Amino acid sequence: MRLCRFDDQRLGLVRGELVHDVSAALERLPAVRYPLPSYDPLVAALPQLRQEIEILGKSAKGRPLSAVKLLSPVANPGKIIAAPVNYRKHLEEALADKGIHHGKLVEEIHKIGMFLKATSSLVGPGEGVRLVKTERRNDHEVELAVVIGREGRNIPKAKALEHVAGYCIGLDITIRGPEERSLRKSVDSYSVLGPWLVTADEFGDPSNVQVGIKVNGALRQDANTSDLVMPIPELIEYMSAFYSLRPGDVIMTGTPQGVGPIRPGDSMEAWIDRVGAMTVAVSAA
Ligand code: MN
């Protein structure tokens, strides 16, 4: 199943090039009262809602995907977790380029672990990236994004994929420079998730998928998740030893070699096998 959010907070079932409005399924979600939950209620309820979404999708007339504004498929992630330099060749390019490492030691993921991006940085492809500090280098990073579906702590890697609701394309937009990653990567609109959530049963094995991005039609990144230094089950085992993972939490699994600058006016096209592709416009904030 492919689920998107679009236009004015509508929920959509994607089939081919069409989106079917299944927003009526949102009426089934429990009414929330303050304090709000620290997880995404829709992702948490997906196992119970799937059948109704399928039924609604059959009767809803399809609209062309090209005619809707795609939002982030996850509305309320409790946290956005990201893996630093998790591809061997990206580690090599980061060590070789002072414009990327800025004199800081780029260490392996096993030593430095993960970092967090502010949830306020999250947008969908239809909203675009709005750059700040345009006198500095702002880079694209395309990544396979994992959405957690089931709560867990100390999850062994053998069970890790049972906690995954689905997969999306993630863009971890980054200002290069000396500040902490969490600051440079948490600017409003610097986390893009889209174009839709492909549920784990439909997506299948995440260990061998091609991930890529073009900027203005020129190929920048094109790699395979089989080259991840820390594969997805290990990432989940590692991070869940520190914090609980909850439905809707997003994991950006790291970017491969080929990161490069983007500027206002650019157009990014990113793709991942078995997810699809999304186009994201870049402007100045
Ligand atoms: Mn990244």
Q: Which CATH number covers residue 254?
A: 3.90.850.10
Taking all residues of the chain, what is their mean pLDDT, rounded to a whole number?
96
Task: Answer whether residue 7 is part of any domain.
Answer: yes
Smallest Cα–Cα separation from 253: which of 280, 226, 213? 226
Ligand 1: centre distance to CA 85 (Å): 7
Positive/negative CA dihedral, 243, 249, 253, 258 = negative
Q: Are residues 222 and 180 in the same domain?
A: yes
43 & 144 share domain: no
In-domain check, residue 152: yes
133 and 218 within one domain = yes
Residue 65 inside a domain? The answer is yes
Centre of ligand 1 to C-alpha 82, Å, is: 6
Boundary-marking domain end, from 20, 46, 70: 70
| Average pLDDT, integer, range 109-133 | 96
In a domain, 156, yes or no: yes
Distant-in-sequence, close-in-space partners of 130: CB < 8 Å, separation ≥ 6: 188, 189, 283, 284, 285
Side chain identity, residue 34: Y
Q: Which of 41, 70, 99 is where one domain is finished?
A: 70
Determine how many CB atoms are found less than 10 A away from the CB of residue 224.
15
How many domains is the chain partitioned into structurally?
Answer: 2
Mark whether 106 and 60 lie in a shared domain: no
125 and 193 both lie in a single domain: yes
109 C-alpha to ligand 1 centroid (Å): 12
Do 100 and 51 belong to one domain? no
Nearest by Cα to 131 from 173, 77, 89, 74: 173
Q: Is residue 174 included in any domain, yes or no?
A: yes
Say how far apart CA 223 and CA 209 lie, in whole Å. Answer: 8
pLDDT digits (tens, 9 = 90+) for 204-238: 999 999 999 999 999 999 999 999 999 999 999 99
pLDDT for residue 90 is more than 90: no
**Are 153 and 61 part of one and the same domain?**
no
Question: Cα separation of 135 and 63, whole Å?
Answer: 40
| Domain range enclosing 7 | 2-70
Q: How confident is the model at residue 94 (pLDDT cuts 50, 70, 90)?
A: confident
More confident residue, 108 or 243: 243
201 belongs to a structural domain: yes
Q: Residues 7, 95: one domain?
A: no
* Domain co-membership, 173 together with 195: yes
What pLDDT does 105 receive? Answer: 63
Note the pLDDT of residue 92: 85
Last residue of a domain, one of 36, 70, 104: 70
Report which of residues 208 and 101 the model is more confident about.
208
32-58: average pLDDT: 96
Whole-number Å distance, alpha carbon 22 to ligand 1 midpoint, is 32
Q: Does residue 106 surpass a pLDDT of 80?
A: no
- Report whether 258 contacts 222 (CB < 8 A): yes
Average confidence (pLDDT) over 123-150: 98
pLDDT at 82 over 80: yes
Ligand 1 center to 13 CA (angstroms): 28
Whether residue 75 is contained in a domain is answered as no
Q: Are residues 187 and 151 in the same domain?
A: yes
Tell whether 169 and 48 lie within a shared domain.
no
CA–centroid distance, residue 212 to ligand 1 (Å): 13
**216 lies in the same domain as 121:** yes
Ligand 1 midpoint to CA 225 (Å): 14
CA of 69 to the centre of ligand 1 (A): 25
